[in-house]
Structure 1
Amino acid sequence: MKTFLGRFRRLLRTHRRLAAALLAGAAVWAGLSALRPADPPTVAVLVATRPLTGGVTIGAEDVAVRQLPVAWLPTEYLDDPVQAVGRPATLNTPAGAVLVPASVVSRDSLATPGMAVLPVALTATAAGLIKVGDHIDLIASTDDGAAPVASAARVVAVLSSDPAKSGLVPTLGDDPVVLVELRPDALAKVAAAAARGPLGFGFR
């Protein structure tokens, strides 16, 4: 035993600088660990796993539930795939973005407060260029030529005759159909013009 203790003391004297450095490092590490703040609280949120195009129905493979810090999140967000899968996206969404109630078509997300939504058929020319979020002027045909019936109407959904591309299917014939956001006092005028036939449009 004495021989062992003697060897141990000689080893410490020989490597005392290394031992001191190791002890100092251990003390610093312990101090930093104690001072490190706790991991921020997280919650489950729904994010896009790949870019989503406005108007296209969201599939199960397009979204996933991830744990994200609460401080990073908006006030409202989706947290379950059932809230989005099977519904059309209201706007283009990049991969990794947190989905909020306004990200998918629902009764609450279609129109902003105080506004109304109306489906209108458009003339086929260039209608395929219209995307969710576009602002368009609506133009009706008249006996005298053409007349504007709405200005800068926001497109909130683009309806497709193919259920595989969109969960919103038009019932107004073969003309392209969009849902546009309008002031309530403009509804009657636009609806009357749309009843007479497809409306022309211009991009803003």
Structure 2
Amino acid sequence: MNKKVKKNINTGDSFNKYILWITTIILIALEIYSLTTNSHYKYDFIFLILMLYALFFIRNKIKLHPFHYFLAAIFLILHNLGTFGTYSNSYFGLEYDLYVHGFFGFVASLILYRTYSLVGPYKGWFMYIAIIAVVLGFSAFHELFEYAGALTVGEGEGVLFVGAGDIDEWDTQKDMFNNLIGGLLGLFSYKIIRFNTKRKIKKMK
């Protein structure tokens, strides 16, 4: 490994650490607010922190890019902003829930694309199918988790309760569809970026 590559790896890992600590501080601040207002989002803090740190600890195995980790951190924060009642609102004509689910699909597909491209067993078009399948698998798990929480604790806010953003009879289907749209946008974006990068390299040669 040459010095330039090693330097880039170390720089990337430093960015990941900054993202970890800054996001932790933001989530703690939101948790304090949730506790003072007795919001049900105080319980979500546990799951969000687990996701944040789990991604960090497996970053080398999945070849996590700092920018993708940053986007994942943004997703966690966007969800936790629900403590301010954002899931009850619409922005630019669309429900907040739509943005969050779509953004999750987008971020997850970017992370998976990079992982599968560098260390994954899937290649070619099957890789794209596998990525979408995993994104929808995560989405289905989340919906089942919400359902189990609703049966256990009932109405309220946050991931464990039934509340704003969950009352539509087609909520599960809409959430998964938004995850799908986000995932497809992520794959399309990554493909365009890689195509442009390869074209620039060819021109340089």
**Same fold, TM exceeding 0.5?**
no
By relative contact order (CA 8 Å, sep 6+), the higher-ranking structure is 2
Structure 1 or 2: larger strand share? Answer: 1
**Structure number, greater radius of gyration:** 1
TM-score between both structures, scaled by the size of structure 1: 0.23
TM-score between both structures, scaled by the size of structure 2: 0.23
Structure 1 or 2: larger helix share? Answer: 2
